[in-house]
Amino acid sequence: MKQTEKVIPLEQIITSSSNIDEAFSEMKQYRDWSASTLNSYSLDERAFTQFCMDIGVEPIISNAKLHIVLKWIKAQKKEQLSIATIRRRIASLSSIFEFYKNIGVVQSNPFKAIQLPVEAEGHHSPIMDFDQLKQVYHHLQELKKEGTDIEVTVKTMLFTGLRNEALTKLTVKDVLLDRELICYDAGIINRKHKVQFFPIPPVLFSLIQRHIHENHLTPEDSLLYGIQGQPLQNKQLNRITNKICQGLGWSGEERVTPHGFRATIATLLDERGNLGHDAIKFLLGHSEKENLKFYLRRDQRKINQLRRELTQIEKELESSLAEGNELIGVQNAKTIDEEGIEQTLSVSEDVLIKLLGTHPKLAIELIQKGYSKFEQNDFSST
C-alpha cells in the first residue's frame, strides 16, 4: 500500500514571526488568481516589504502594526502616488492579512483597519506610542503642580477619540453618572439623529465627578476647561497640545495635535488585538438614535468591550505614575552640596521593597550605599 504523504497545516508553516513575502508565497496556492492579479498582488506586497526595510523594520507579520501602515500611506502620498494606487495596495495587503486572520495566525488586520476614520486627508499628526502616552500622563501632573490643571480635558480627549468641535460642545448633562458614560449628541445630520456613547474608565470617571463637584457645575455648563481654567473654546485644544509638546520637547514632526490623540487611541485598541474593528468604529463613528434606551441596550456589548479595554489601558498608564513616584522618591534621597559632594538621606523600607520588584539593580545599589537601615546580607538571596 502506498504511504500517504502527511500534510502540514498552513498555520504551522506560517506564524506571526514569518516573513510577509513568505506568507504571500504560501497563500498563493489557496487562491485561484489570474496571472495579472497575481502580479499585481506581488508588486503591492513587495512595496510594503521594501518600505519596512527602508525604515529599519523587519518585514515580518507581527511587525505590520497600524502605525507602520499609516506611515506607509504617508510616505506614498509624499511620493505623489495616486489615491487609486494607494487604495489598491492597501486592499492587496488587507486580503493577505485577512486570510491569515481567518486561520488564526494573526489576531487583527491592520490594513483593514485603515477603513477606520483615524486620519483625515492631508492630516499627518503623529501617533503616540505607549511610552509617549506615559510621558503625557507624567507631564499632566507636573503642569498641575504649576497651577495648570488640564488633566480631565486631555484624558477625555484621549479616551473618547472625539474631535475638537465635539469636545468643546460637551456639557455636564452629557455625563451619564449612573452608567459611567459620556453621551454626545451630534444633532441632526442628513436627516438622521446621531449619538455616540463613550464608556469612561474608572480613574477618569472619578476625576470628572470631582471636577463637577469642586467647580459647582450645573447640567448646562461646559464639561471641559482650557489652560486658563475657563470653559473650553474653539482652538484651545491646539493650545493645550502645544503646551504639552513644548513641555516634553516634542518639535517638528514629533508635535502631536488633538487629532493625534484620536488616532492614538484607535491605534492602541487595534494593536492590542482584543477588540474587533466594529467596536473601534463604534468608538470613532456614530450610532443612529431614535430611542436612547433602545440603542444603549443594542450597543451594550460594544460598550462593555470598550470599557474593559479602555480600563486596562488606563490602569497601565496610571501604574506608570506610581512607578515614576517611586523613582522620584529615590532621587529626592540624594542631594548635592555646594562642593559637588553627594550626601545621602534615608529611603523608606516600602520604597526599597517596591524597587526590588521593579528596579532590582537600583535597589541593591541603594542598599549597598547605606540608603536604608537594612543590612546588605538581608538581601543576599535577591
| Residue 109: predicted pLDDT | 82
152: its cell numbers? 480631565
Residue type, 222: S
- In this prediction, residues 327-338 reach a mean pLDDT of 43
Instruction: Please say whether the beta carbons of 224 and 170 come within 8 A.
Output: yes
Work out whether strand 287-288 and strand 334-336 pair parallel, antiparallel, or are unpaired.
unpaired
User: Which residues make beta-bridge pairs with 344?
Assistant: 334
User: What is the C-alpha to C-alpha distance for residues 146 and 236, in angstroms, rounded to an integer?
Assistant: 19
- In this prediction, residues 231-258 reach a mean pLDDT of 88
- Of 274, 295, 269, give the one whose Cα is nearest residue 284: 269
DSSP state of 228: T
Higher pLDDT, 49 or 123: 49
Within 13 Å and on the Cβ side, how many CA atoms surround 132? 18
| Residue 331: predicted pLDDT | 45
User: What is the C-alpha to C-alpha distance for residues 233 and 248, in angstroms, rounded to an integer?
Assistant: 24
**Residue given cell 465627578 in the structure block:** 209
Kindly report the backbone phi and psi dihedral angles of residue 336, in degrees, each rounded to the nearest multiple of 5, phi listed first: -115, 125
Res 232 pLDDT > 50: yes
- In this prediction, residues 310-332 reach a mean pLDDT of 72
Res 216 pLDDT > 60: yes
Residues 6 or more apart in contact with residue 218 via CB below 8 angstroms:
172
Res 254 pLDDT > 90: no
| Residue 187: predicted pLDDT | 63
Residue type, 219: P
Highest mean pLDDT among 42-56, 309-323, 338-352, 364-378: 42-56
Residue-averaged pLDDT of the chain: 77
Instruction: Please say whether the beta carbons of 382 and 356 come within 8 A.
Output: yes
- In this prediction, residues 88-113 reach a mean pLDDT of 84
Domains of the chain listed by start with CATH number: 10-115 (1.10.150.130), 130-316 (1.10.443.10), 332-379 (no CATH)
Least confident segment among 54-68, 160-174, 351-365: 351-365
| Residue 47: predicted pLDDT | 93
- In this prediction, residues 341-352 reach a mean pLDDT of 48
pTM of the shown model: 0.60
Higher pLDDT, 294 or 238: 238
- Of 89, 97, 84, give the one whose Cα is nearest residue 51: 89
pLDDT over 90, % of the chain:
31
User: What is the C-alpha to C-alpha distance for residues 201 and 140, in angstroms, rounded to an integer?
Assistant: 17
Residues 6 or more apart in contact with residue 330 via CB below 8 angstroms:
347, 351, 355, 362, 366
